[in-house]
Amino acid sequence: MRGVLNGVMVASFLLAFSQTFAIAGSRSEPTRPNIIILLADDLGYGDLSIYGHPSIETPALDRLAMEGLRWTNFYAGAPVCSPSRGALMTGKLPVRSGLYGIKRIVLWPNAKGGIPASFHTIAEALKGVGYDTAMAGKWHLGDEPDALPTRHGFDYWMGTPYSNDQDWLVARDVNGLLSDFSKNFTPEERTRRESLRDKFQEQFQQAAIHPDQSSDWNVSLVRSYNSSSAYVDEVVERPAKQETLTKRYTEQAISFIKAHASGDRPFFLYVAYNMPHVPTFASEHFKGKSLGGSYGDAVEEIDWSAKEIRHALEEAGLAKSTLLIFASDNGVSSLQVGRGGSAGPLKGHKATTFEGGMRSPGIFWWPGRIKPAVVHGIGSLMDLYATALSLAGVTGVSNDIDSIDLSPVFEGKPSPRGFLEYFSVTGELLGYRNGAWKLSLTDNGRTLSNKAALYNLNEDPSELMDVSQVYPDIVKDLVNEAKKRDAALRRAAPIFDQI
């Protein structure tokens, strides 16, 4: 973050927050719902107890799911974080918005290619119809000042500009490991550098899986808001005390909810946890408590956060006027599989287009409006854009979006989304789903293969039995449908590749 991360300023969040959101007046029920999105980072489909984890305890999220909608076919916007978060913010597939990369699959510190000012985000759309907006947590759509959340519809933001594993201090002392491999090195030099790179990757994985302390990572905690028509961007601390992030994000969310207890103005609150992304940390109260190891500690602290946010809504009398959504930005990291993280019965993991890389827990809670149900229809994180705008009464929404309004499901109707495209981290179409049928065009979940596989996901969510030879007509129909949709899609140049 050039210009923002030059110095460290200890900021008082609550003071500035109360100044920004000083709301007075008598209480009245809003005609439009408040909307809260809780987004975990790299949480697997099977990581909540209600989704089948045998040792991680998540009673608060389980209760929200039992009292609301629990989706069994809810998908991330992409198999990695930056494109997925871009899909949430814009309602567009990453290949349509350009929020993806071929050389760089996520945004890195000091990247030029952040979310463009021309995009109309979910926060901007809601703010345009009278919503107050705030964000706590990981952004990962650019760290230049013009790309920060406050430039894209949020009145207030406090969080990290990118993932908590980026800017690893240890890497700065390892000379030559990240050199440009596109250069024409001699075979001996290439071998040496590849060996060093492998050593670096091994060191990083060990540090990420078994982190000693968060100070090994130089990620900043930033606070940003608009004061008297001027943006204020401050570094609260660097390196961020990652053990405290979930707790501090929760405190911010509760303060924001309390500031709106009068009910005079609807609000949009986006809480994007850094956890359980590697390196995985939890506060002292949760550290070492979960049977699921350090990963379980982080997930159980997120569950605690959901409980506290729900309690704040109920205490403020806002529960019945608030839609609360919980999901993950993509599937479980391969680094966490077998160390607490789980894709449940699903095949694959983060960065793949197998179900384990794309499918996410999906919980919608709105007491008095949503009747408890298990939803087996298809939904996507990207669909929260159209859903939120529809509930808020936003009109004139662009047709150039891929988001679908899921609110009919709240009334017990089937999900209006019947299909889903599976794009690789580099924007290549590797799969297509229509109803129960999934056409898979990849052997490894990352690159295109010369063979098409077919799965009935209702009967075989683990993608174990390829039935393409049994149903060749279905394969043919899905291939033609996928080709037509891909050809009609107006692809944008990859923004993340800008240097």
User: Residues near 74 by Cβ (< 8 Å), separated by ≥ 6?
Assistant: 327, 359, 360, 361, 362, 378, 379, 380, 381
Burial classification of residue 1, based on how many CB atoms lie within 10 Å of its CB (0-12 exposed, 13-18 middle, 19 or more buried): buried
CA 77 vs. chain centroid, Å, equals 8
- Compute the distance between CA of residue 223 and CA of residue 237 in angstroms, rounded to an integer: 10
DSSP 110-158: T-S----TT---HHHHHHTTT-EEEEEE---S--SGGGSGGGTT-SEEE
**Structure-token match 């200890």, residue found:** 10
Contacts of 406 (CB under 8 A, 6+ apart): 379, 383, 384, 386, 387, 415, 416, 417
Tokens 């979940």 identify what position?
Answer: 445
Amino acid sitting at position 91: G
State the Cα–Cα distance between residues 78 and 96, nearest whole angstrom. Answer: 12
What is the rounded distance in angstroms from the CA atom of residue 17 to the CA atom of residue 75?
Answer: 33
Cα 330–Cα 268–Cα 380 angle in degrees, nearest 5:
30
Q: Nearest to residue 83, comparing CAs of 75, 74, 93?
A: 93
CB 338: neighbour CB atoms within 10 A?
Answer: 8
Q: How many CB atoms lie within 10 A of CB 202?
A: 10
> Which residue numbers are catalytic?
81, 140
The answer to whether 295 and 63 are in contact (CB under 8 A) is no
H helix runs in 210-292, sequence order: 245-259
Angstrom distance (rounded) from CA 83 to CA 79: 8
**Rounded CA gap, 124 and 121, in Å?**
5
